Structure 1
Amino acid sequence: MIHPTASANDHNNPKIAIIGGGLTGLFTATLLERALGDNTVSITIFEKSRSVGRLATRYRTSSTHSDKQWQWDFGAQFFTAKSAEFSRFIAPWLDSGLLQPWLAQVVNLTPADSKEGASNIEAKEQWDTDHARYISTPKMTSWGRELADTLQQSTIEFKTRVAPLAQYTHAQTDAHLQTDSTLISKQTELFDENGERLGVFDWVICTAPNVQAFELMTESGFSELSQIMQPKMLACYTLMLGWDDLAYLPKIISNKPDWDVAYVQDSILDRIFIEHQKPDRKTLLPSITIHARNDWSEVHVDEDIDTIKAQLLVAAQRALNWNDESAPSQIDCHRWRYAATVTDEDSEPLGTLVDKQKQWIVSGDWCHKGNIESAYLIAQQTVKVILQH
């Protein structure tokens, strides 16, 4: 824990707080360390959960019948690298094999009109290496954990909720620190939700989803507060299904089907992903992740999760045509409150929001297009702002 004993002599060794240990936070810390060099920066990442990588996350559970596991990537299923900068950034992990292209066969799936009918499947596209969709192996969390493990000047404080921000100056509480009022006035002390001190920082970077960022900044006098809620974020429900053996799968996905990803038509479901057919997932029990449509999820976001799960199961059974013998043995449902960013292709992304006087930055993938590459591009913008100051 950093206590408020900083002085003007620390100006060349800035202390930076990053609120949120998702990919935006990890990318930001990584790029800051690279840009500022060894032993010139101290970064603390505050993460409210017990793990890193919000966008790229997974859920797993073990079978009671074997030593194998089900695994579901219930966050981002894959990511693209359309910019030259991001392509260069991910290259080392592609070389090591931690990141791999997913050459999935994609179909359109129209559910049957009745429980007894068969869903219609039509080929849509084959993902290739020219327009690659990448995944992290052997699980979607592997890359985020690798990023966290390789940080040198950064520490991560898990299970730590930062309280709403309010800037203070050391001059108001520590008279002996009035040697440089300009420097002191830009330092911020952070507290957790219980009022415990978290430290004093020269820069504070908030990478939380925009609704949570607004709550943290709403009484702080943040100069860009009005823009935080400009992007619209939608919810997403995820249904996770598992079977004890390939032999129990419904026919539409039994053996090795000629598809890996299905775009679902005329349904509250959006996409179906066959987890155990992804690269480096061969040891998994049969596992399928289903994302509900964002618009439907948003309308029902505050409803009881068991009620939602029941509705999604009805839709999933209609799409996958299982019977009593081929019904899933493992069922779970997850609610992403802030999952997708609504973007306008004709307008410029919001970009990072900066209060230069306070030296606070609000960032996040939602400041761009809401995907993993967006998290990297926003992290780049954040680092550029800090380097300019």
Structure 2
Amino acid sequence: MTDHSVTDLNNTKTHSSNTNNGVAKIAIIGGGLTGLFTATLLERTFGQQADPSDPQKLPPQITVFEKSRSVGRLATRYRTDEQSDKNWQWAFGAQFFTAKSDSFSQFIEPWLGTGMLQPWCAQVVNLTPATEDAQPIINKKEQWDTTHARYISTPKMTSWGRALADDLQLTRVTFKTCVAPLSASKTHQLQEYSTHKKTELFDTEGDSLGWFDWVICTAPNDQAVALMANSNFSEQAKITEPQMQACYTLMLGWDSVQQLPATFSRHLTNATNVVLPGWDVAYMHGSILDRVFVEHHKPGHGDLSPSVTIHARNDWSQVHVDDDIETVRSQLLAAAQQALNWNNDTAPSQIDCHRWRYAATVVTDTNKEQGILVDDNQQWIVSGDWCGRGNIESCYQAAEQTVKVMMATLSQ
């Protein structure tokens, strides 16, 4: 159930599942994938256990507070030429995702059935940029397959997030709602249940958003730091422990396939001397660039004008994270020209650049996955993909952990 307006949720008499009316009220801060996965799993878990005839087993009331106008944060940027009706489209955030766990594989099955999610069996190459004396060097790396699939959302990467929100039945999503730091919240001790507390949230204008039994923050960790600062959150120090790196994204477009640099149409020969057409994804070597993705080669994207998304290396992006965006854009464009080897006749007509300040979670032997952070006393949870490996499956795993923690309390 999606509500595009901010709803007055102020109700100081609403109790948790331990109280007379049995309705637990849950706030989720952030309508990204972690927040949507959490709401979906909460609905499935507690909805299945709900019994309308039993006041102690009523389903929870869930509210997602999203500060922007949309959900999902599987970023898509697109551009339309009004005169020619040409369309370019770039997935400038996550390009794809994997499903390595059985539970996440089962979770995505319905959307695979509808075709909204599709495996991308991309032809992947290694690409070394051109030099003064040599053309770009392109060697076959692998072809992605359905056994170890990489999935995309169609027709846009944002489509799946919107579908997740539309499928919610027990959840209200409120857009353009910026939750104030929890230091401004109020905790109410219920007299009849001395061990239970409720939290009143406020927006940044000072208006009450209501009282909640559980508050789940799914914002990026830099925003989570600000939201939980001075709130006496018991795990505050751990929010800053994950090491994050930036990523710059360069988005390029051409007016027609005929205008693409020849580098895109280079034929490859595999180990059995079979000639393979072109390539879809390039892993860069000897460059500030990391990977190149050919958008119009993706399933369900064949009607796009040539659109190419390029991610810079995370380590380079981190070093230059505070640089002037136009300076960075020029550096990335020069590196892209060296890699793709275009000239005046084959230069892109569409150029855009985006900075992700917190894009990747660094996971090493000494800096391992942290997991969600729980304050049992205040019934607050801080969650997000950055609690894991920083990918989309990490969003789902964080949601699973959150529901497991809450089940132990809400089912009592």
TM range (shorter): over 0.9
Post-superposition offset of 1:65 = 3.9
Matched, 1:127 2:144: yes
Q: How many residues align?
A: 380
Q: Which residue number in structure 2 is paired with residue 293 of structure 1? A: 313
Matched, 1:182 2:195: yes
- 2:266–2:278 CA contact under 8 A, matched in 1: no
Post-superposition offset of 1:255 = 9.1
Cα distance in 1 between the residues matched to 2:71 and 2:20: 29
Q: Which residue number in structure 2 is paired with residue 3 of structure 1? A: 10
- 2:242–2:367 CA contact under 8 A, matched in 1: no
Cα distance in 1 between the residues matched to 2:399 and 2:21: 22
Q: Which residue number in structure 2 is paired with residue 174 of structure 1? A: none
The 3-state SS of whatever aligns with 2:180 is coil
Paired amino acid for 2:104: F
Cα distance in 2 between the residues matched to 1:196 and 1:78: 39
Q: Note the aligned Cα RMSD (angstroms).
A: 1.7
Paired amino acid for 2:42: L
Long gaps (5+) in structure 1: 172-176
Q: Which residue number in structure 1 is paired with residue 273 of structure 2? A: none
Q: What does 1:1-389 align with in structure 2 at a 5 Å threshold? A: 1-8=8-15, 9=19, 12-37=22-47, 40-54=59-73, 56-114=74-132, 117-166=134-183, 167-170=185-188, 178-183=191-196, 186-254=197-265, 258-345=278-365, 348-389=368-409
The 3-state SS of whatever aligns with 1:5 is coil
Paired amino acid for 1:234: Q
Q: Which moved more, 1:290-299 or 1:63-72?
A: 63-72
Cα distance in 2 between the residues matched to 1:83 and 1:169: 38
Long gaps (5+) in structure 2: 1-7, 51-57, 268-276
Distance 1:7 1:128, change over 3 A: closer
Cα distance in 1 between the residues matched to 2:40 and 2:27: 13
Identity within the alignment, % = 63
- 1:17–1:205 CA contact under 8 A, matched in 2: yes
Post-superposition offset of 1:11 = 6.0
What does the per-residue CA deviation read over 1:230-279, in whole Å, with 9 as the maximum and x for residues that have no partner? 11111100000011111111111259952100001111100000000000
Distance 1:23 1:147, change over 3 A: same
Cα distance in 1 between the residues matched to 2:87 and 2:233: 46
Cα distance in 2 between the residues matched to 1:199 and 1:144: 26
What does the per-residue CA deviation read over 1:193-248, in whole Å, with 9 as the maximum and x for residues that have no partner? 22122221110001111111111112000001111111111110000001111111
Distance 1:327 1:191, change over 3 A: same
Post-superposition offset of 1:181 = 4.0
Paired amino acid for 2:62: I
Post-superposition offset of 1:180 = 3.7
What does the per-residue CA deviation read over 1:362-385, in whole Å, with 9 as the maximum and x for residues that have no partner? 010111111111110110000011
Cα distance in 2 between the residues matched to 1:342 and 1:189: 34
Cα distance in 2 between the residues matched to 1:307 and 1:11: 59
